[in-house]
Amino acid sequence: MKQKGLLYTGKAKSVYRTDAKGQLIVEFRDDITAFDGGKKDQLKNKGSYNAEASAFIFQYLEKNGVKTHFLEMLGPRRMLVRELSMIPLEVIVRNIAAGSMVRNYPFKEGTKFKPPVIVIDYKDDSRHDPMLNDDLIVALKLATPKELAAIKKTALKINALLVKLLAAQGITLVDFKIEFGRAGKTIYLGDEISMDSMRLWDMKTKESLDKDVYRFDKGDVMATYNRVVKRITKTESPKRAPSETGRKSKEVPATATALKASVKRPVKKSPVRKR
Ligand SMILES: Nc1ncnc2c1ncn2[C@@H]1O[C@H](COP(=O)(O)OP(=O)(O)OP(=O)(O)O)[C@@H](O)[C@H]1O
Ligand SMILES: [Mg+2]
């Protein structure tokens, strides 16, 4: 597997072509940005912390029946992925009111959303990612009604799995953003799921465990990211949530060892990480 030319460079990741058909390398850089790029910095190890969290979560989701772009890690910050034609939607699932929900709507921070609220934005920085609705998504030909229904269903499934994974480590999943893309006719989960894209609160202390620490200068950002990665990836089997139908869930436990043992694709050992 050889890395070829740069295909795309975003605010936090760079995407490279490879000599393998349909495979790309996503490199998680140490760049961190907030407020539409208005605040930016480089924080040592940030890329590897986000890559590690993403890789663990993608594998956990795959084991539970979610199709993701993840193939394997090629080092602490380089992820081999399936090449997707990205759908320019930011699919946000919210369990608790925070951030823009509180700024833009009359919700009190901390209000629980039951069922969770899905918000879909148009991924376009030049337009400041305006919020869409189903009719606009179809009118813009971003997805068919059938695809949109499937995307929403998958987003809720991912939410339920992540809530369980994180709750086992005393972390509340407030909200998160995901992106999807197509390979042929199949829709896969792409991009990343990390401390940059999830809003996480410690269940006991309510302290922020995500990019809000950077956005609002709440403390040592990298110490927080490092602690969260350790908590997520050393997670023990989450307690089974009683399923709505009362049937026993078929979900695979999220134990780190269980994941490593059960992942079909070989995950190469990462070189020693400098932390
Ligand atoms: N499997 C994939 N195939 C092709 N492109 C992908 C895949 N996964 C993610 N991408 C794209 O790679 C890019 C990653 O870059 P990055 O997240 O840094 O920038 P961005 O999304 O443009 O900006 P920001 O995240 O700051 O809004 C994104 O455009 C994302 O949609
Ligand atoms: Mg991005």
If one residue of 86, 123, 176 were mutated to test the ligand 1 pocket, choosing by the most ligand atoms within 8 A of its CB, it would be 86
15 lines ligand 1 (CB under 6 A): yes
How much is the average pLDDT of 105-123?
Answer: 98
Q: Provide the percentage of residues in the chain whose pLDDT is more than 90.
A: 83
Mean pLDDT across the chain, nearest whole number? 89
User: For the residues 25-52, what does the mean pLDDT come to?
Assistant: 97
Type of residue found at 70:
F
CA distance 206 to 202: 5
In a domain, 161, yes or no: yes
Together in a domain, 68 and 91? no
Per this entry, what is the length of the chain? 275
Q: Which of 82, 101, 116 is the last residue of a domain?
A: 82
Q: Is 235 exposed, middle or buried (0-12, 13-18, 19+ CB in 10 A)?
A: buried
Ligand nearest to the CA of 190: 1
pLDDT band at 266 (very low <50, low <70, confident <90, very high): very low
Which of 202-206, 235-239, 267-271 holds the top average pLDDT? 202-206
pLDDT band for 1, please (50, 70, 90 cuts).
confident
Task: Please say whether the beta carbons of 198 and 175 come within 8 A.
Answer: yes
Residues 157 and 195 occupy one common structural domain: yes
- In Å, what is the CA distance from 166 to each residue of 109, 169, 199, 221? 20, 5, 11, 19
Q: Within 13 Å of residue 51, how many CA atoms lie on the same side as its CB?
A: 27
- Could you tell me the residue range of the domain that residue 53 belongs to? 3-82
Residue 151 domain-assigned (yes or no): yes
- 227 domain residue, yes or no: no
- Give dist(CA 171, CA 202) in Å, integer: 5
Please give the pLDDT value at position 235.
61
Q: How far is the CA of 252 from the centre of ligand 2 (A)?
A: 28
Q: pTM for this one?
A: 0.88
Interhelix angle 221-233/46-63, nearest 10 degrees: 20
C-beta of 86 in contact with ligand 1 (< 6 A): yes
Mean pLDDT on 85-110? 98
The CATH number assigned to the domain holding 116 equals: 3.30.470.20
Contact between 9 and 24 (Cβ < 8 Å): no
In a domain, 250, yes or no: no
Q: Are residues 46 and 136 in the same domain?
A: no
Q: Is residue 253 over pLDDT 90?
A: no
Residue 211 lies in a domain: yes
Q: For the chain, what percentages of helix, strand and coil (3-state, to nearest 5) are there?
A: 30, 30, 40
**Residue where one domain finishes, among candidates 220, 241, 268:** 220
Long-range contacts of 96-100 (CB under 8 A, 24+ apart): 96/172, 96/174, 96/175, 96/201, 98/174, 98/175, 98/199, 99/175, 99/199, 99/212
Please give the distance, rounded to the nearest whole angstrom, from the Cα atom of residue 167 to the centre of ligand 1: 28
Output the pLDDT for position 197.
98
Q: Are residues 23 and 72 in the same domain?
A: yes
**Whole-number Å distance between alpha carbons of 200 and 197:** 10
- For residue 205, being part of any structural domain is answered with yes
Per residue in 133-171, pLDDT (tens digit) is 999 999 999 999 999 999 999 999 999 999 999 999 999
Q: Do residues 134 and 66 share a domain?
A: no
In the chain, the N- to C-terminal Cα span, in Å, equals 27
CA dist., res. 54 & res. 225, Å (int): 12
Question: Number of folded domains in the chain?
Answer: 2
Ligand 1, atom nearest to 9 Cα: 15
127 and 49, same structural domain? no
- Interval 170-189: pLDDT, tens: 999 999 999 999 999 999 99
DSSP string, 224-252: HHHHHHHHHHTPPPPPPPPPTTSPPP-PP
Is residue 145 one of the residues assigned to a domain?
A: yes
Domain-embedded: residue 238? no
| Ligand 1 neighbour 12 (Cβ under 6 A) | yes
Q: Whose CA is nearest to atom 25 of ligand 1?
A: 11
**127 and 11, same structural domain?**
no
**48 and 102 in one domain?**
no
